[in-house]
């Protein structure tokens, strides 16, 4: 009856360590077919491929907002200040560079720049012909936009520190009223980045060049068979999600049944999130021990 089938020596030498906390999507599908589909069950009959569809959709949805983010790349930013977006990238959760102590410094997105397509203009007078075309009849595009080149070439304002200290006193000039009205979103010296969605690159500000950057991102967990797995904390939520998805897309299903499973799916997902948020009493206690400390400015 026990689920651990291999010996200790086999686990520590041949198996993926820590794999017991997960159950494969295939198992979820098989077990759903056993427990939910059949005579006298909630779903009397359904094609397995339909269940596979809903199970994969469930895995996608759970990957976006319930499962822990486990995918991370570490790389050194090249002189081009751009790295390609990973193959299975859906969105990033954190971008940071690490210092010599291994401490992460968060990079924030530069929302006020981009890398638009740079159309080769035939002349600057504004008269026809406006643009040049290639042999296929499509618009000629320059390799990089002027905007992107300017962003990459400029020294970020936070690194322009030459006037910060005037030797008149011990204070940095920006600290004497010059930061009034500063937008906190831009108030850091860590650097910035923006995502060039069209070309599939993440571009960084020039002060990140040569630094080690960590990209933490989420996928939809459907990239490979090996990553199609569900944490056991979220297994029940998967069943409920699939059941609700099937019932709600079928004709002639009693509305009460659909509503019941909608509630159950919601509750199960919330339980899964709570479990996966990994809250430990001792850790909360430790955090709250600092509650009476004076907030430093």
> For 209-277, where are the E strands, in sequence order?
212-218, 229-231
Q: Is 50 in the site for other proteins (CB under 8 A)?
A: yes
Among residues 1, 49, 100, 103, the one that binds other proteins under rule CB under 8 A = 49
CB of 56 to other proteins, least distance (A): 5
- C-alpha distances (whole Å) from 92 to each of 40, 166, 185 are 44, 40, 18
Pairing of strands 71-76, 212-218: antiparallel
Q: Is 297 in the site for other proteins (CB under 8 A)?
A: no
Over the window 221 to 260, marking each residue x when it contacts other proteins by CB under 8 A and - when it does not, the resulting string is -x--x-----------------------------------
Secondary structure class of 33 (helix, strand, coil):
helix
Size of the site for other proteins (CB under 8 A): 13
CA distance 113 to 81: 15
Q: Is 56 in the site for other proteins (CB under 8 A)?
A: yes
Between 146 and 225, whose beta carbon lies closer to other proteins? 225
Stretch that binds other proteins, among 44-52, 83-91, 97-105, 263-271 (CB under 8 A): 44-52
Are 150 and 206 in contact by the 8 Å Cβ rule? The answer is: no
CB of 225 to other proteins, least distance (A): 7
**Subset of residues 16 to 35 that bind other proteins, contact rule: CB under 8 A:** 26, 29
- C-alpha distances (whole Å) from 95 to each of 60, 135, 148, 265 are 22, 41, 19, 32
Buried b (16+ CB within 10 A) or exposed e, 19-40: eeebbebeebbeebeeebbeee
Are 223 and 205 in contact by the 8 Å Cβ rule? The answer is: no
Over the window 180 to 219, marking each residue x when it contacts other proteins by CB under 8 A and - when it does not, the resulting string is ----------------------------------------
CB of 160 to other proteins, least distance (A): 49
Which residues here bind other proteins, judged by CB under 8 A? 26, 29, 39, 47-50, 52-53, 56-57, 222, 225
């Amino acid at each position: 009856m026990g689920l651990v089938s291999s010996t200790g020596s086999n686990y520590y030498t041949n198996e993926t360590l820590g794999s017991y906390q997960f159950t494969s999507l295939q198992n979820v599908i098989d077990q759903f077919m056993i427990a939910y589909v059949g005579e006298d069950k909630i779903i009397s009959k359904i094609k397995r491929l339909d269940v596979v569809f809903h199970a994969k959709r469930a895995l996608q949805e759970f990957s976006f907002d319930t499962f822990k983010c486990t995918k991370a790349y570490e790389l050194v930013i090249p002189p081009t200040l751009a790295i390609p977006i990973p193959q299975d990238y859906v969105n990033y959760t954190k971008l940071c560079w690490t210092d010599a102590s291994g401490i992460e410094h968060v990079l924030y997105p530069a929302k006020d720049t981009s890398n638009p397509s740079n159309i080769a203009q035939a002349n600057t007078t504004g008269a026809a012909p406006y643009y040049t075309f290639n042999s296929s009849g499509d618009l000629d595009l320059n390799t990089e936009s002027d905007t992107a080149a300017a962003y990459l070439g400029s020294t970020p304002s936070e690194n322009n520190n030459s006037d910060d200290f005037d030797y008149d006193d011990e204070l940095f000039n920006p600290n004497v009223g010059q930061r009034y009205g500063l937008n906190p979103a831009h108030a850091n010296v860590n650097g910035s980045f923006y995502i060039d969605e069209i070309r599939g690159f993440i571009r960084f500000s020039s002060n990140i060049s040569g630094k080690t950057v960590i990209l933490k991102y989420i996928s939809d967990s459907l990239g490979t068979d090996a990553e199609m797995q569900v944490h056991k904390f979220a297994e029940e939520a998967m069943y409920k999600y699939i059941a609700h998805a099937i019932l709600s897309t079928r004709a002639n299903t009693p509305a009460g049944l659909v509503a019941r499973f909608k509630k159950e799916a919601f509750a199960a997902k919330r339980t899964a999130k709570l479990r996966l948020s990994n809250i430990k009493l001792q850790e909360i206690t430790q955090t709250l021990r600092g509650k009476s400390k004076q907030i430093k400015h």
